[in-house]
Amino acid sequence: MVERIRKTLGVLRPPTSGPLSLMVRRHRLLFFFAFFGAIAALSVCLSFLIRFEWSWLRKVPKWPEWWQSMLLVAVPVRLVVFAAFGLHRVSWRFAGLRDVPPMINAILVGSAFDAAILLWAYQGAFPRSVLIIDTVLCMALAVVGRYAYRILDHLSRGIDAGPRTRVVIVGAGRACNLVLEAMNTARLNAYRPVAIVDDDPLKQGITIHGVGVATPIDVIGEVARRTRAEAIILAMPAATTAQLYRVVKLCRETGLPLKTTPDIWQVLQSSEAVTRIQDFSLDDLLNRRVVRSDVPEIRRLLEGRIVLVTGAAGSIGSELCRQIVDQGALRLVCLDKDENGLFRLEQELRRRRPDAALAFFLGDVKDEGRMDALFSRWKPQIVFHAAAYKHVPILQFHPVEAIRNNVGGTRTMARLSQRYGVERFVKISTDKAVRPTSVMGATKQIAERVIQHLGAGDQGGTSFSTIRFGNVLGSAGSVVELFLEQIRKGGPVTVTDPRIERYFMTIAEAVHLVLYAAGMGTGDEIFILDMGAPVRIDALARQMIQLSGLTPEIDVPIVYTGLRPGEKLYEELWTPEEKPEPTSNPGIRVARRTGGVPDLDARVDALLTSAAAGNMRECWEQLLELVPDFQGQTREAAEMPPTAAPTGPTA
């Protein structure tokens, strides 16, 4: 991979090591004895000089004997002790702080032997101050000598390194530090960092490994021109999806190649070295990111508990299962009605955690008898309810099924959780439930109200929480998946409206925050995930085309098809009345829905009865009563694409 990058960039392969390093590796033992022998001898000579200054030539007649005796003792003793401590096996090129304590211990032990031998030989008449000075000097010379070697080797390697690609690094955090360290090694010596850009104003003007930092990231074009940069490297693993889109857009505007370190998340988890740099691609934008698995709050929630995940074969449900099995749950029960999806999930989880206690249950959340059998058999203590119909245009034409699944299925699972003493019930919701314009959003809002109602009336029993967020990148049937397929076929890429915006987050990020929020829940909360700034779908489509190595409107056309039935131009994560407040996690806010629907149970019963009977007219009437802030078209008009941004419900 590295060799291919170098050929692509037209740079020469740098030497794997400098001339000094090659010499040392060929004659390791000889160099070890010569180096530390010289250090020991120099330390002895300087010790006498410091102790007696220049007067020892006249006033201390025994100094030549002392000096010769200490040389004869100290040099061989130190070499033997250093070898015994294994210092001859320590890499010279990669000497670091971890190598200092063994070296100091070896020097102290050697000094103890020197003192014992010399004081015994001279019956205590040997100058003790010389022994102390020698110990301190030997430590200083050995440590300085080790690092001086690294510096000299680095300089010797750079003499014939050949041309290097000038790069600007985006992000001035820990990942940047690792990338800069990697560029000082032979493996990535083909890159020369010339500037760093970051959004943190407190980092303006500082240097990292001698490279200056400029803020904000918006100035990257100016910085790239000023420094004559030839490429840009992303080092922002903690960036939100929206932030990443903004940064990629700014980098693309410079016209420079955009690169990344593909394993940077694993690097940050394990403190390993950065080993390669490659072109930034669509996969880097869409693939799941590695999330922290050592969060105490999540482990305390799940460890030793029986956990049920509904909709386990779906995008969110399957990622929930992956992260839950990594957190020490006593047993994970996976429920889904998709037989093939459940089979694939079972194969994956058993490979991932062969020792985990897993159960896979084929069933539909609308089937109360089947669900009762599940609760009776497995007695879950925590339930994550991710099962739902989610595709807006489909549900506009099938509102009865949307009601039965999203409302009826949720209430069935929530009531069974109460009946069987489940500790926590966590409902996965969507931003489309806020002032909905679609059947899908309306049914999700009703499901939220059902959970809130049950939570308010269940004193000391099951804790009910709702977690609301926007779109996730790469989920089944998402706009991103659609764009990918269209780009692979050469287009056209279809965008409903050039103004349409959506919130985005990777699946792993969203699920990680879901688990964290679930641990904070005490009941009757709506947790809202911070999705960052919304992303314009038109810009997303163009960026995906560019990341595929193509040009929008030239290689791949973009066609605007108009809003689909029930579709919003802009999504919202909360209503003004909810007033979300920050929590201990900056990625999570908490709110409580104000007010409620009178006689909620009776009205939901009536809605589900009408849905079971297939009575569309009654379903619409009851739906609008339960969702007073519905903003879209209704009845037959709901199946038609809107001609403008919805302004309110119609009759």
CATH code of residue 219:
3.40.50.720
Residue-wise pLDDT for 390-442, tens only, equals 988 899 989 999 999 999 999 999 999 999 999 999 999 999 999 998 999 99
92: in domain: yes
pLDDT in tens, 607-642: 999 999 999 889 999 999 999 888 877 777 777 776
Last residue within a domain, chosen from 105, 132, 158: 158
Q: How far apart are CA 432 and CA 216, in angstroms?
A: 33
The reply to whether 12 falls in a domain is no
Tokens 């919701």 locate to: 429
User: Using 50, 70 and 90 to split pLDDT, how confident is the model at 357?
Assistant: very high
Structural contact between residues 358 and 286, judged by C-beta atoms closer than 8 angstroms: no
- Residue at 114 is within a domain: yes
Given a cut of 70, whether residue 56 has pLDDT beyond it is: no
pLDDT, one tens digit per residue, over 75-124 is: 888 888 888 887 767 765 556 667 778 888 888 998 898 888 888 888 77
Residues 70 and 116 in one domain: yes
Please indicate, yes or no, whether residues 129 and 215 belong to a single structural domain of this protein. no
Instruction: List Cβ neighbours of 190 (8 Å cut-off, separation of 6 or more).
Output: 2, 5, 6, 9, 11, 12, 13, 14, 162, 164, 165
**Two structure tokens written together for 611:** 């849905």
Asked if residue 328 and residue 272 are part of one domain, the reply reads no
Question: And the tokens for 478?
Answer: 């998402």
Whether residues 448 and 597 share a domain: the answer is yes
Q: Please report whether residue 612 resides in a domain.
A: yes
> Encoding tokens for residue 253?
């505007």
Decide if 558 is inside a domain. no
Query: SS3 sequence, 368-394?
Result: HHHHHHHHHHHCCCEEEECCCCCCHHH
Of 450, 451, 441, the C-alpha closest to 402 is: 441
In a domain, 345, yes or no: yes
**Strand, coil or helix: 582:** strand
Residue ending a domain, among 280, 312, 340, is 280
pLDDT at 271: 47
Give me the half-sphere count of Cα atoms (radius 13 Å) on the Cβ side of residue 385.
35
Question: Are 463 and 578 found together in one domain?
Answer: yes
pTM summary value: 0.66
Do 523 and 580 lie in a common domain? yes
Predicted confidence at residue 336, as pLDDT, reads: 96
Amino acid, single-letter form, for residue 412: T
User: How far, in Å, CA of 314 to CA of 584, rounded?
Assistant: 29
* 269 shares its domain with 139: no
- Which residue reads 């049914």 in tokens? 443
Task: Tell me which residue has tokens 């699920």.
Answer: 511
* Least confident interval from 131-140, 186-195, 215-224, 343-352: 186-195
Alpha-carbon dihedral sign for residues 475, 478, 479, 482 = positive
Note down the domain range covering 177.
165-280
- Cα separation, 538 vs 502, in Å, equals 10
Asked whether residue 251 falls in the same domain as residue 131, the answer is no
Say whether both 146 and 200 belong to one domain: no
Do 524 and 408 lie in a common domain?
yes
Q: Which of 158, 181, 216 corresponds to the end of one domain?
A: 158
Q: Is 488 among the domain residues?
A: no
Instruction: Please tell me whether residues 146 and 231 are part of one structural domain.
Output: no
Q: How far apart are CA 555 and CA 250, in angstroms?
A: 22
Assess whether pLDDT exceeds 90 at residue 466: yes
- Structural domains counted in the chain: 3
Q: 212 and 85 share a domain? A: no
The verdict on residue 411 lying in a domain is yes
Q: Which two tokens stand for residue 6?
A: 């170098």
Residue 299 backbone phi and psi in degrees, to 5: -65, -40
Tokens, residue 397: 């034409």
d(CA 426, CA 431): 16
Of all residues in the chain, the percent with pLDDT exceeding 70 is 81
Tokens 């209430």 correspond to 411
Report pLDDT for 644. Answer: 47
Residue 381 CB contacts under 8 Å (≥ 6 apart), including other chains: 305, 306, 307, 422, 423, 424
More confident residue, 172 or 186: 172
